[in-house]
Amino acid sequence: MIVLLGISSLIILLSPLSLGAEGGEKTGRVTLVVINRLCLEELMAMEGSSLVDLAARGGIGLMNTRTGGGLTAENAYTTIGGGTRLVGGADAKTALPSHGAYRGETAGDIYRRRTGWDPPFGSIVVLDIENIKTNNLASANTQRIGVIGDALREGKQKAAVIGNSDTHEEQRWAALVAMDSRGQIPMGNVDSELNKSDPDFPTGRRTDIEALWREYLKVRSEASFIVVDLGDMDRVEEERRQLAPSRYRSYRQAALEAADGFLEKLLEEVDLDKDWVLMVSPLPTGEDIAGGRLLTPIIAAGPGLAPGLLVSGTTRRPGVVANYDIAPSVLSWLDLPIPKGLPGALLTTSKELPRRFGNPSPGVNNPLGARLRYLEDLLSRSAATYWQRTPLLKAFVTLEIILYLTAFALVGVYSSLPKSWVRFMGFLLLLITSIPLALLILPILRPMTVIAAFSYTLVMAVLFAVLAVRLAPNTEHRFGLICGLTAMGIAVDTLLGGPLIKYSPLGYDVMLGARFYGIGNEYMGILVGASLLAVPVARERWPKAGTAILLWFLLVILILGSPALGANAGGTITALVAFSLALAYGTGRRIPFPAVGFCLALLAVLFLLNLFPAAGTGSHVTRALWIALQGDWAEIRAIAQRKLAMNWRLMRYSIWSKGLLVALGIMAVLVYRPTPGVKGIMEKHPNLRGIVLATIVGSLAALLFNDSGVVAGGTTSIYAAGLVLSLIIEERGRNGGE
């Protein structure tokens, strides 16, 4: 008890060191330039431009654009300003000067009537602010929006927004980045006077760069955070479907040249030794969305940002950041406190670059060129994974369900089976077991189409199954061999930083942005499930391997729980529960006290590692633990509700829920309500009941303790169910003929 009190006191004393903005006096301002719908290829082609110059002087990367809803402007801009994935509102684009006219009334009067707040003189107001709050309360159980604007107001600093994306109606999306939770921006200009008529440009108008620059100079002396909407790329995108491809490209080039003219003036004015310039593209183009290229270019330059690839603690992946990293970064740069519970992290730069990109190709003789080529490769491979993921996983789980139900029907209906059927079904069940290993290795082959990925996966799975049949003498050992190779492959890849998991369809998808590092729930479940099956086989093959088995279990728990490796809290609990049961059956004791003691000691170490991680290794688990220890019950409740909502949604709509129910149901019926024939199999394979029990309990633990627990539980249960069915079919074959 005294030790616990001491640890708690230490946590309380050190907590200010773990949260909030970095220390140090900061001056200057942040200018966020919005060039929406920008493509990486276009940026790469702009040699000698101010945009490329900005990228060379600071950090460049790709930004995940996922929001709390669809990929729409109102959601994207609200997310950036709110520091978490949010949604907007139907009229969120309507931002007006408080003294301006709107539908026969003064905008300030409408705003006051809707909100009860008096807009300050000269301010800009978002009239849809209450609807935006309502939408986020319904979809994300939060009304915390406008985080950047709130922090600036509370810190006695000002935000400003200038420019618009107006077409035939007001489109002032950039105001959603600068506004506070009241829907107010203290200063700026979003009026149509910043545009000029141009019948030769999409929508008949375009941004007046000179007028925009004059407005920027007006607000620069007073505002600490200035959002500039250059607008023209949105206007081109507005009419994309009505434009010939050549005209579309020509207009985009003209829009980029105009935007570059503004950046040229900006770089002449700012001092990057004390000011920050941030260029973002909140949304991809419609063409890129259709192609799965959902990451957009982002550039940041200023104090503390050496030339390199942008990265953050959110992603830990050089070259990739999240759109909700912008809010904490802006606040940190302006020396403002970062609100608790924000999922994002500070943007930094890394010079890390794979060796094959380190030596530029002919004609590219600068470090920026190498970084751009790396980003293009990352974007192309990630887009391919994005498109391959859904069809491959649906095919995998559907095949698993069909085969398991077919095998279950065969053993339930027939007391004997032809040996040819037995061999065929046994091979197919072994094939299912081999697919996760094939999907892990798939990124080495770099397939760029769904057909290629499907073909490579099937061929590799067949080869692994054939190899297991040739090398192992019986069914149990064949499953054990495949599971052992799979578990070791996942462990080694994780220890190396996940180069395969990052691009595997069964890993995590950087486009979806649910996870950027560590072990995702799919491979977490596979690692636990494969270990549960491989270890008893190893124990049977090598009876004196008890110590090695315990060390393997501890290694898996360490990998899953380490903030620098797996960073999967739910997986750590799942492994601890499942492995303890497996050890109990392996030692013949109900509770193997020494093994459980080792596991608990390791869990305590992992707890401390997550509370006080090394620099750059803090994870979402770290943030959650600090929130819990500081007693922020509202945030804890919000996290729990989000996890429950995710699991409930997956349980209703995900194919993984069907796979989980089928696997668990088959194991429960065959092993815990066995027929006389199944009882005979249990006697011949004494380890089988322990494997099944540990797998069932582990799958349920994965379901309970993970935000995508349906997925984790489904992958945990794959192996034991396949082995049980294979052994029973094999037994039926002994009673049958050819």
Quick one: 514 and 421 in the same domain? Answer: yes
What CATH number is given to the structural domain containing 293? 3.40.720.10
Q: What are the helix (H) ranges across 270-418?
A: 286-290, 326-333, 355-358, 367-413
Quick one: 327 and 466 in the same domain? Answer: no
Spatial distance between the Cα atoms of 703 and 726, rounded to a whole number of angstroms: 25
Instruction: Provide the angle, in degrees to the nearest 10, between the axes of the packed helices 633-653 and 620-629.
Output: 130
Taking the chain (738 residues) in runs of 10, the rounded mean pLDDT of each run is: 41 38 57 97 93 96 96 97 95 94 93 95 95 92 92 96 95 97 97 95 96 97 97 96 95 97 97 97 95 96 96 93 97 94 92 73 65 95 94 92 88 76 91 96 95 96 95 90 95 93 92 87 92 81 72 88 79 84 65 55 56 52 55 59 59 65 75 66 74 84 75 84 87 63
Quick one: pLDDT at residue 578? 87
Domain count, the chain: 2
Quick one: 250 and 390 in the same domain? Answer: no
Quick one: 198 and 119 in the same domain? Answer: yes
Residue of 76, 57, 74 whose CA lies nearest to 65: 76
Quick one: 194 and 325 in the same domain? Answer: yes
Quick one: pLDDT at residue 613? 56
CA atoms within 13 A on the CB side of 295: 30
Residue 172 lies in a domain: yes
Spatial distance between the Cα atoms of 518 and 609, rounded to a whole number of angstroms: 15
- Is there a contact between 429 and 401 (Cβ–Cβ < 8 Å)? no
Buried b (16+ CB within 10 A) or exposed e, 33-48: bbbbbbbbebbbebee
Residue 5 lies in a domain: no
Quick one: 98 and 176 in the same domain? Answer: yes
Quick one: pLDDT at residue 546? 65
Quick one: pLDDT at residue 545? 64
Quick one: 604 and 685 in the same domain? Answer: yes
Spatial distance between the Cα atoms of 263 and 213, rounded to a whole number of angstroms: 10
Q: Which residues pair with 64 in a beta bridge?
A: 295, 322
Residue 519 lies in a domain: yes
Quick one: 320 and 408 in the same domain? Answer: no
CA distances from 614 to 257, 557, 564, 609, 610 (A): 44, 19, 8, 8, 9
Q: How many CB atoms lie within 10 A of CB 591?
A: 11
The three-point CA angle 136-138-142 to 5° equals 45
Q: Which residues pair with 277 in a beta bridge?
A: 31, 301
Q: How many CB atoms lie within 10 A of CB 96?
A: 23
Quick one: 342 and 462 in the same domain? Answer: no
Q: Name the one residue in this structure whose structure tokens are 């925009």.
A: 212
Quick one: 86 and 199 in the same domain? Answer: yes
Residue of 10, 495, 540, 73 whose CA lies nearest to 281: 73
* Final residue in a domain of this structure, among 300, 335, 352: 352
Phi-psi category of residue 296: left, alpha or beta, with phi > 0 → left and psi -120 to 50 → alpha: beta
* Final residue in a domain of this structure, among 334, 352, 370: 352
Q: E strands of 305-344, at which residues?
A: 308-312, 320-322
* Final residue in a domain of this structure, among 352, 387, 408: 352
Quick one: 538 and 668 in the same domain? Answer: yes
Q: E strands of 175-281, at which residues?
A: 184-185, 187-189, 195-197, 205-207, 225-229, 276-280
Residue 8 lies in a domain: no
Spatial distance between the Cα atoms of 715 and 526, rounded to a whole number of angstroms: 5
The alpha carbon of 573 is separated from its chain's Cα centroid by a whole number of angstroms, namely 21
Which residues are within 8 A (CB) of 638 and not within 5 positions of it... i.e. 6 or more apart? 141, 142, 341
Residue 412 lies in a domain: yes
Residue 6 lies in a domain: no
Q: Name the one residue in this structure whose structure tokens are 């991809």.
A: 284
Residue-wise DSSP of 438-459: HHHHHHHH---SHHHHHHHHHH
Q: How many CB atoms lie within 10 A of CB 101?
A: 10
Quick one: 613 and 721 in the same domain? Answer: yes
Number of H helices and number of E strands within the chain? 29, 17
- Tell me the residue range of the domain where 655 lies: 378-734
Quick one: pLDDT at residue 2? 40
- Is there a contact between 172 and 229 (Cβ–Cβ < 8 Å)? yes
- Is there a contact between 71 and 296 (Cβ–Cβ < 8 Å)? no
Spatial distance between the Cα atoms of 343 and 347, rounded to a whole number of angstroms: 13
φ, ψ at 192 (rounded to 5°): -70, -15
- Is there a contact between 493 and 681 (Cβ–Cβ < 8 Å)? no
